[in-house]
Amino acid sequence: MTITVPLIQFGFGNVGRAVVERVLRTRDLFEWRYGLHLSYRALCDSRGAIIEMDGIRYGDLQRALAAKAAGESLSEFALGYLHQGLLDIVDIAASEGAIVIDVTATDETVPALLQALSLGCRLVLANKKPLTQRYETFRRLNADGRLRYEATVGAGVPVIATLTENLIASGDVIHRIEGCLSGTLGFLTTGLQAGEGFAALVRRAHELGYTEPDPRDDLGGMDVARKALILARTLGWPLELDQIAVEALFPPELGGGAAADFLTGAAALDEPYRRRVEAAAAAGKTLRYVATLSDGRARVGLEEVPLDSPVGRLQGTDNLIAFHTEVYRPTPLVLQGRGAGAQGTAAGVLADIVALARR
């Protein structure tokens, strides 16, 4: 017996395409293993949608992927392309049991997500923005177990599943969570530890594509703060984003101006960072950009951590999260792995789809 699971996907960028590719690639496996037939009913990018209530044919999905890969937009490619807003798409395509996948990076999806819930849909988010608006919005999206959002923290690394389905579900008491949740800032802090200069490291991360086009979008810490907020709210803490203490890796005077100017101006930070690194090393410690949750509060920033702690031993761009709990002490439960990239994020989305579909 095979159950058809209708999918409605918001977003068709790098992650969105990786999700579609993975659905196509695993369709036989999923039918055989889980008795699930995943069937796209709507697929949209910022300019409109393909909607096909009987399921978009695999050949059309393949062609949409090829068109996108060739630099075309979905609307240039698709014959049946509709210039619809997200709410319209939901009203047309949603039904009880459909799964709405949000792999955009905007909070403009929130009304459509709430509308989808009211129509009996389930939600899978890789998009952090809807979950980091006001707490009331998180609460409404996460009211009754029809939302999953593994890919918002650590991409495919099962951070959210471990927290909710292992630690919370076993009645463990969580004392403290520490996470290195940015591959970019991991690259930077391990480079600093190795004696490299701050400005050169930022420039190299920029050239390698590890940073956003403006590296300050990573160095400002807000992306990590959003992840910390999602963890906090998953713990049941009704925090708002502006209640998280965030340390940026550059001073306010470098916050304005063009990205190119910042890359030049960052040279002034080489010496202060060199001194911080040396002071940490003298104390048997190293610097890491850490999200810390404890006692109902969350902060993200550069911390001196012991060299022989899980966070201190972490090297390179991997993410790491350490759960210090009643069961996991004195050493924490640690998860580590690639926490970014389209493939890992798509893997997290697929795991969530299967988990919801098997309920």
Rule CB under 8 A: say whether 2 interacts with a second copy: no
Question: CA–CA distance from 224 to each of 170, 184, 290, 346 (Å)?
Answer: 27, 11, 9, 19
Q: Does residue 227 have an active-site annotation?
A: yes
Reference 91, options 181, 179, 8; nearest CA is 8
Find, among 253, 183, 251, 246, the residue nearest to 211 by Cα.
183
Selected from 310, 311, 312, 340, the binder of a second copy by CB under 8 A is 310
Applying CB under 8 A, does 355 fall inside the site for a second copy? yes
- Smaller CB separation from a second copy, 209 or 213: 209
What are residue 264's phi and psi, to 5 degrees? Answer: -75, -50
**CB nearer to a second copy: pick between 201 and 347:** 347
Structure tokens at 249: 């890796």
Residues 6 or more apart in contact with residue 23 via CB below 8 angstroms: 7, 38, 40, 350
Q: Which residue of 74, 199, 229, 354 would you call a contact of a second copy, by CB under 8 A?
A: 354
> Which of the stretches 73-81, 106-114, 209-217, 311-319 binds a second copy when contact is defined by CB under 8 A?
311-319
Residues 169-188 that bind a second copy (CB under 8 A): 169-172
Largest CA distance in the chain: 65
Query: From the CB of residue 184, how many other CB atoms can be counted at a distance below 10 Å?
Result: 24
1 contacts a second copy (rule: CB under 8 A): no
Residue 301 touches a second copy, criterion: CB under 8 A: no
Spot the catalytic one: 68, 128, 129, 227. 227
Q: Least distance (Å) from a second copy to the CB of residue 208?
A: 15
Indicate the residue among 61 and 219 with the shorter CB distance to a second copy: 61
Single out the residue of 217, 190, 195 nearest to residue 288, CA to CA: 190
Q: What is the contact mask toward a second copy in residues 131 to 160, using x (rule: CB under 8 A)?
A: --------------x----x-----xxx--
Our CB check for a second copy shows the closer of 149 and 198 to be 149
The two structure tokens encoding residue 355: 């988990």
Per the CB < 8 A criterion, the answer to whether 231 and 291 are in contact is yes
Nearer to a second copy, 169 or 200 (CB): 169
Q: At residue 99, what are phi and psi to the nearest 5 degrees?
A: -110, 125
Q: In angstroms, rounded to a whole number, what is the distance separating the alpha carbons of residues 292 and 322?
A: 10
Closer CB to a second copy, residue 22 or residue 216? 22
| Beta-bridge partners for 49 | 44, 82
Does position 25 interact with a second copy (CB under 8 A)? The reply is yes
312 touching a second copy, by CB under 8 A: no
Residue 341 CB, nearest approach to a second copy (Å): 8
> Contact at 8 Å (CB) between 132 and 111?
no
Number of residues that bind a second copy (CB under 8 A): 49
**Using rule CB under 8 A, residue 73 touches a second copy:** no
Residue 338 binds a second copy, judged by CB under 8 A: yes
For residue 330, say if its preceding peptide bond is cis, omega within 30 degrees of 0. Answer: yes
Measured in degrees and rounded to the nearest 5, phi and psi for residue 326 equal -60, -40
Distance CA(110)–CA(308), nearest Å, equals: 42
- To a second copy, the closest distance from the beta carbon of 36 in angstroms equals 10
Please choose, out of 52-60, 100-108, 168-176, 284-292, the segment that lies near a second copy by the rule CB under 8 A: 168-176
Contact by Cβ (8 Å): 333, 2: no
Closest to 19 measured CA to CA, from 337, 341, 342: 342
Residue position matching structure tokens 């899978």: 124
Does 122 bind a second copy (CB under 8 A)? Our answer is no
Among residues 55 and 337, whose Cβ is nearest to a second copy? 337
Interface with a second copy by CB under 8 A: which residues?
22, 25-26, 29-30, 33-34, 145, 150, 156-158, 161-162, 165-172, 310, 313, 316, 318, 326-328, 331-338, 343-344, 346-351, 354-355, 358-359
Supply the residues annotated as catalytic: 227
